[in-house]
Amino acid sequence: MATHLELPTGGRMPILGLGTWQARQGAAREAVKFAIDVGYRHLDCAFLYRNESDIGDALRQKIQEGVVTREELFIVSKLWSTFHERSLVKEACQKTLAALQLDYLDLYLMHCPMGFKAGEELFPADGSGMIIPSNTDFLDTWEAMEELVDVGMVKAIGVSNFNHKQIHQLLSKPGLRHRPVNNQIESHPYLPQEELINFCQSKGISVTAYCPLGAPNWPRSKPDHISLLDDPQIKEIALKHNKTPAQVLIRLQIQRNVSVIPKSVTPQRIEENFKVFDFEVAQEDMETLLGFKKRYRICALSECKNHKDYPFTED
């Protein structure tokens, strides 16, 4: 089973990475240091997570200690939605590079197809709590991202939370110079996304799964029945393989040739989540894991449903 995904740009993305969303600042620094010691080389970051400077400290320390070289790392970050105006894209990427203390990113993703009103607020909302859109088009934002590749600030560019139609729009854009190499989407047994994953892979676009464990610490309320780690069928498959439910859910994505970025700040879990290359989920169990009738999108961004580019209308 592959440990890396080969990108069309020549880069090699480790199939398993550490997610850093929700990692509070000090916790993010310690989690990244521990993860690098364990063997993680793919780190998933974002301006939105507000912890990139702590991650940068961890990266610098591990490189200085000689534990890892910059070239061995695969660092991903994301352009946030308040920076979709063409004139803001380069500055946003520079902020991320400065925080991470890096000269380049291996992969830079458009965090979301929706542009929000520019400014300090990450989620600018109107009086009724709905997002205030910007007057931008993600195809124009993409052109500004292409320039980041040209000047060497990023090795490759991709997208996140794009649906089938939006990927098609981007690939059909006249004068497209750099194709997206990755689409990062929510995926787990209650949202397997088989059609979207197959479509992306058929177009040479790799896929990364976020919330692979069902986001057990999701900050907003979630129905009680939405707990993948407590699902009896998933627990039964884990028991059969002498693994944890989390390890089975991570392995599921790897066997689909999908990169996967479980997040944790707990050393024991960070290490446990990395021990997924010594077993294989049987075909019948794969079918069970991808065959649940239950459907639940954790990251639905419902306050953005009024946006012209809201991506989750296909659910």
Task: Return the closest-CA partner of residue 295 out of 183, 218, 160, 188.
Answer: 188
Alpha helices in 44-102 (DSSP H): 52-64, 86-100
Task: Return the closest-CA partner of residue 15 out of 290, 251, 248, 272.
Answer: 251
> In this structure, which long-range contacts are made by residues 234-239, counting pairs with CB atoms below 8 Å and at least 24 apart in sequence?
234/189, 234/289, 237/281, 237/285, 237/288, 237/289
d(CA 63, CA 92) in angstroms, rounded, equals 24
Residue 129 has which token pair?
């709590």
Residue 69 has which token pair?
């070289």
Does 40 qualify as catalytic in the annotation? no
| Catalytic residue, candidates 40, 49, 296, 310 | 49
d(CA 55, CA 30) in angstroms, rounded, equals 9
Which residues are tagged catalytic?
49
